[in-house]
Structure 1
Amino acid sequence: MATATSTPTAPTGAPRSVRRHPRTACTGRRRPTVIERTVTVRGGVQLAVRDQGPADAQATVVLLHGLCLDRDSWTGQIDHLTRQWGDRLRVISYDHRGHGRSDSAPKRTYTVTQLAEDLAGVLTALRVTGPLTLAGHSMGGMVALAYLGRPPADRPVEPTGLVLAATAAGRLTERGIARLLANPATNVLCGLAAVTPHRALSLLSRPLYAALALRCDADARSTLSRLFTETSAAATTLDTAIGFLPGLRSFDQLSTLGSIRAETIVLSGGADLLTPPSHAHEMAAAIPGAAHVHLSDAGHMLLDEAAHAVTAAVSRTIATRIGARSRSVSVNHIPGQRHSQLAITA
């Protein structure tokens, strides 16, 4: 059973001694207090959770980050959402096991299925009720889909909104750089992760990267190079990344898509080499009533490259559920953006 402990802190950017709700200059609305929590889930793993806004807010958003990232990857969206909605919205973000300030865990638990169970534990421990929007980037989107694939009795809250950014529902080994997951060199790397100390693993990953890169075009090699360079700088991140690879290879929630009833917005980047747009087309076609926003010039990091579009998508699911007055705002000013309108509160 998941449990939570908490430490109240001042709003972001304010002195720790400040406990009131300062008003933003642009809207006059109060910015909710941030509470840093620790939620203990299965196996005694402690997750670092940031809880912002009142527990009885009109709506809640839970933000799920991608592999090798952490909750801070959503900082831009959180800033805009809290300025826009004030204390009408509760925003929850946390580090997955093995990431950020959360505990590491046995490698056998580094699966999307386990992360979906962790999400259920966080929702239970924090006593989240609807309306709820789940927003996931990359692996975070897969966690949201895996949560929706759990039996109804194992879903403590039924989300009313779903935002899927640069992610997939399965068949990762068939498209983009993720096809490398089927490469024998990847099997070697995954095996090493289970038995090799961090420093040795970091050194051994370089020749394995070279072997994988032979099968890629120039753009894919550039992306792979950045991934290995950045993760080798932090051995724990590299260890975590490799630990999750087998689970990502077998991840498949395609059969879940047709049963999703949440208002769903799928976002994709035309230059995304990790989760190519074909995944988004597949999800949008299979989820009843889903909208698809395609940004042809954006890559995999939509939270940075198309921050406005992601924020607007989350805001639309919020406005729909709490009956807020909204206006249609175009995101066509983003280069390569397919014509699409997203609702954002005035």
Structure 2
Amino acid sequence: MTDDEARPHHGRGKAPWLAGLAGLVAVGAGAGVSVARSVAHRIADEDPYRDEDFELLGADRSVIVTTPDGVPLAVREVGPPDARLTVVFSHGFCLRMGAFHFQRARLAEQWGDQVRMVFYDQRGHGMSGDAPPDTFTVPQLGQDLEAVLSVTVPRGPVVLVGHSMGGMTVLSHARQFPKSYPNRIVGAAMIASAAEGVSRSPLGEILRNPALEAARFAVRYAPNAVNHGRGATRSIIGPVLRAASYGDEKVSRSVVAFSEKMMHETPVTTMVGFLHALEVHDETAGLKTLAKVPTLIACGDHDLLTPMEYSREMAVALPKSELVIVEGAGHLVQLEQPEVIDDALVRLVERATPSKLVALTRRLKERARHHG
């Protein structure tokens, strides 16, 4: 498209394609709401997480990592800086690092001083800086992950954990930085993710809806128009994300409120900008690299955004993988049934670092015997 085509015409102050946006949005919103109604989740009467502090990560050690193209990424760290292993968490679309709240809370206790955990907000999400819409791509996210690793984990073994778009980030990193595997990156988890575009999912049709196409175009050529219409844009995307978040089991009211807050606080330009990336990305080449290390593939069997066949396909391509299908869970499986995911991550770390931990134990015993 030429610059002339993108400019407003006839002195009306808006491009012709914007004229029909309201009608498209009405159609799109209706489609989103109908999907949401068909899979509405049930809220539990009892709320075990009523008093949960979901801002736990906010108090952890804070670091800013600036990417090569100048975007500041907000990072939080838990555990000793000199821990023998670092686990780095990469969150999904329209979320932030708090999406791993339960993993941060439980695994910090489980691993103690042996493991350091690093969490960060993807570009355009959470506390991280905004970025040009043309950088909202999965390959760019893989490069951002490398920037985080370079600054926060300059040495020592690493296990990568990605949820949804974060899992795609891990795959992208594996494709672009294969020499880091298996010497530096010793294990990886992809939770509710996919190696290629999600257009085959039941919600693919919604993601290709004409109103979103118009909004995507506006992000690039008339960002102010998107901001003015952000309520309408959210009315299409919001119901789809909420509907896909949880399965058919009863869900904690507080957990639902927390996840919806993360989605609501995501800028519309980020939301719209990354939609295309989720549809068209293809990081299947990263599977060849990840085959070198122990992996965890996990998803809910009621996940509409990344249905379990995506996870099954990845597991087939990864000979050292454990496949965990969580019964009754939706896309936010790590928030909905955290114990299952936590246990699987503990097993992954044990599989990824057995020789190091065994060798450490042996040396400690020999030293004790020698001094005894």
TM-score by length of 2: 0.69
Offset at residue 113 of structure 1 (A): 0.9
Check if 1:66 corresponds to 2:70: no
Return the letter of the residue paired with 2:319. Answer: P
Q: 2:228 aligns with which of 185, 195, 200?
A: 200
Return the letter of the residue paired with 2:333. Answer: L
Offset at residue 231 of structure 1 (A): 7.8
Between Structure 1 and Structure 2, how many residues are aligned? 285
Describe how 1:101-180 pairs up with structure 2 within 5 A: 101-152=127-178, 158-180=184-206
Which protein, 1 or 2, shows the higher relative CO under an 8 Å CA cutoff with sep ≥ 6?
2
Return the letter of the residue paired with 2:223. Answer: T
Structure 1 contact 266–293 (Cα < 8 Å) conserved: yes
Match of 1:251 in 2: 281
Larger strand percent: 1
Q: 2:110 aligns with which of 78, 84, 89?
A: 84
> 2:267 is paired with a residue of what secondary structure?
helix
Describe how 1:1-346 pairs up with structure 2 within 5 A: 34-152=60-178, 158-194=184-220, 195-197=222-224, 199-205=227-233, 233-234=264-265, 236-260=266-290, 261-320=292-351, 321-322=353-354, 324=357
Return the letter of the residue paired with 1:125. Answer: V
> 1:294 is paired with a residue of what secondary structure?
strand
Structure 1 contact 48–101 (Cα < 8 Å) conserved: yes
Match of 2:9 in 1: none
Offset at residue 133 of structure 1 (A): 0.8
CA–CA distance in 2 between the matches of 1:267 and 1:154? 23
Return the letter of the residue paired with 2:233. Answer: S
CA–CA distance in 2 between the matches of 1:221 and 1:287? 26
Structure 2 contact 106–342 (Cα < 8 Å) conserved: yes
> 1:48 is paired with a residue of what secondary structure?
strand
CA–CA distance in 1 between the matches of 2:245 and 2:166? 24
Match of 1:344 in 2: none
CA RMSD of aligned residues (A): 3.1
Aligned-pair identity (%): 33
Offset at residue 209 of structure 1 (A): 6.1
Long gaps (5+) in structure 2 = 1-54, 248-256, 359-372
Larger helix percent: 2
Return the letter of the residue paired with 2:229. Answer: L
CA change 1:230–1:77 in 2 (3 A) is closer
Structure number with bigger Rg:
2
CA–CA distance in 1 between the matches of 2:354 and 2:202? 39
> 2:229 is paired with a residue of what secondary structure?
helix
CA change 1:122–1:156 in 2 (3 A) is farther
> 1:163 is paired with a residue of what secondary structure?
strand
Offset at residue 309 of structure 1 (A): 1.6
Match of 2:38 in 1: none
CA–CA distance in 2 between the matches of 1:63 and 1:275? 19
> 1:51 is paired with a residue of what secondary structure?
strand
TM-score by length of 1: 0.74
Structure 1 contact 298–306 (Cα < 8 Å) conserved: yes
Greater alpha carbon shift after TM alignment, 296-305 vs 198-207? 198-207
CA change 1:222–1:107 in 2 (3 A) is same
Structure 1 contact 53–89 (Cα < 8 Å) conserved: yes
Structure 1 contact 120–156 (Cα < 8 Å) conserved: no
The C-alpha deviation readout for 1:112-162, integer Å capped at 9, x for no partner, is: 111110110111112343421101111110100100011435889732111
Give the 4+ runs in structure 1 shifted more than 4 A.
153-157, 206-210, 219-223, 229-233, 322-325
Offset at residue 53 of structure 1 (A): 1.9
> 2:310 is paired with a residue of what secondary structure?
helix
Return the letter of the residue paired with 1:196. Answer: P
Offset at residue 313 of structure 1 (A): 1.8
Long gaps (5+) in structure 1 = 1-11, 17-33, 214-218, 326-346
Structure 2 contact 92–162 (Cα < 8 Å) conserved: yes
CA–CA distance in 1 between the matches of 2:230 and 2:214? 13
CA–CA distance in 1 between the matches of 2:166 and 2:56? 26
CA–CA distance in 2 between the matches of 1:272 and 1:105? 29
